[in-house]
Amino acid sequence: MAAFFIILFGLYFSGNVYVFIRGWQALWGLPIGFKLTAAVLYWLGAASFLYMLKRDAAIPATLAHYLHQIGTGWLVFTLYMVMGLLAADLLRLFHVQCACRFFIVLGGVVCVLLYGFIHYKRPTIKQLDITLNKPDAPAAGVLKIVAVSDVHLGYGTNKAALQKYVSLINAQRPDLILIAGDLIDNSVVLLRAQRMDEELAQLKAPLGIYMVPGNHEYISGIDESKAFFRSARIQLLCDSVVTLPNGLQIAGRDDYSNRRRLPVGELVGKANPAWPIILLDHQPRELDKAAETGVDLQISGHTHRGQVWPLTLVTGQLFELGYGYLKKGNTHFYTSSGLSLWGPPFRIGSDSELVVCNLTFK
């Protein structure tokens, strides 16, 4: 893990040096005072990413929110600037000259990031219609489930954003709310300070609100996370099964971060196979094993669908179902791209989404 972060920071620093050199060259001929001011502002922006090393720093929440937005956003800014400037440098090899190439690339990147920010703030509502043939189930009919994942409450997704998400979820009038992990980002400190548990307690679903931990609940401290969920009146399922009054069973699998979690077959073995079973598993792994257990529907998250291009091309290679719907045998699988996101506040090539699953029992 240490080697990964050393490589990441090495690439980040090298990319910023490359962009800075090209920018300094583009400002040739301007007064030195202007150039030095631009240089200071540039490196302040680049250095703002380092605040993430102090996630529980005693600074005002509003300032921390904007530092998070700038610091993590600078990652994508650097990535796109490097890609654009490299493309411009390659064009010079073919004798395609443009004196304003740095400013053209800069303008293009700013426009793309502005689009990505606006797009992130407008989650889509994904409709999913699934029919289950379980004749021995106690009840029939249609059940409306709202499924969310990867909200990442913290300095990025603050209380103001949470209020909008709660209103959006309640507007769907769900019978049941399921949360597929990573409700918390990196720490419960800000969540406690802003009483976000009170906001989450405003969620309404007659059959209850259930969730499973994600890897970020472990990053935040699993014991602290569990205490926060209790105060928010959200029932956390860790390798356990709950049966609702209508016979629907929810099997909640602990996250892959806990390598001692139950095998999926052992977990689902606690349920009645004649009645419908929904499996919540934050990371979409071991789909074949889940299908073999007779699970009717598995809901996952974690991947964010890569969040921004070209990372959107990677998740499909890392996971069998990096995003969307898949059916194996009689088991339906859905991996959500997440209601919010981690880090950079942009959606480019992916959507923030709220999943509304209309589950029909025959």
- Final residue of a structural domain among 79, 105, 120: 120
207: CATH: 3.60.21.10
pLDDT at 186: 86
Count of domains in the chain? 2
45 with 190, same domain: the answer is no
**Where in the sequence is the domain holding 325, given as residue range(s)?**
125-361
| Exposed / middle / buried, residue 41 (Cβ in 10 Å: 0-12, 13-18, 19+) | exposed
- Return the CA Rg of the chain: 23
Please give the pLDDT value at position 55: 58
DSSP three-state, residue 143: strand
Say whether both 208 and 343 belong to one domain: yes
* AA letter at 70: I
134 and 95 share one domain: no
Residues 214 and 327 in one domain: yes
User: What is the distance between the alpha carbons of residues 240 and 212, in angstroms, rounded to a whole number?
Assistant: 10
pLDDT digits (tens, 9 = 90+) for 268-308: 999 999 899 999 999 999 999 999 998 999 999 999 999 99
C-alpha 290/C-alpha 327 separation (Å) is: 11
Contacts of 22 (CB under 8 A, 6+ apart): 85, 102
Residue 193, pLDDT score: 87
Same domain? 59 vs 203: no
Q: Kindly state whether residues 129 and 76 are assigned to the same domain.
A: no
Residues 186 and 51 in one domain: no
Considering the domain architecture, whether residues 257 and 307 belong to the same structural domain is answered as: yes
Q: Is there a single domain that holds both residue 176 and residue 289?
A: yes
Low-confidence ranges of the chain (pLDDT < 70): 1-2, 4, 52-58, 95-96, 139-140
The residue out of 62, 97, 120 marking a domain boundary is: 120
Q: Do 277 and 354 sit in the same domain of this protein?
A: yes
Among 97, 120, 143, the domain boundary falls at 120
240 and 351 belong to one structural domain: yes
- Detail the DSSP E strand segments found in the chain: 124-132, 141-148, 176-179, 209-211, 235-236, 240-243, 249-252, 277-280, 297-300, 324-328, 331-335, 353-361
Q: According to the model, what pLDDT value does residue 150 have?
A: 96
Is residue 133 located within the same domain as residue 116?
no
Q: What is the pTM of this model?
A: 0.90
Q: pLDDT by residue (tens digit) across 346-356?
A: 999 999 999 99
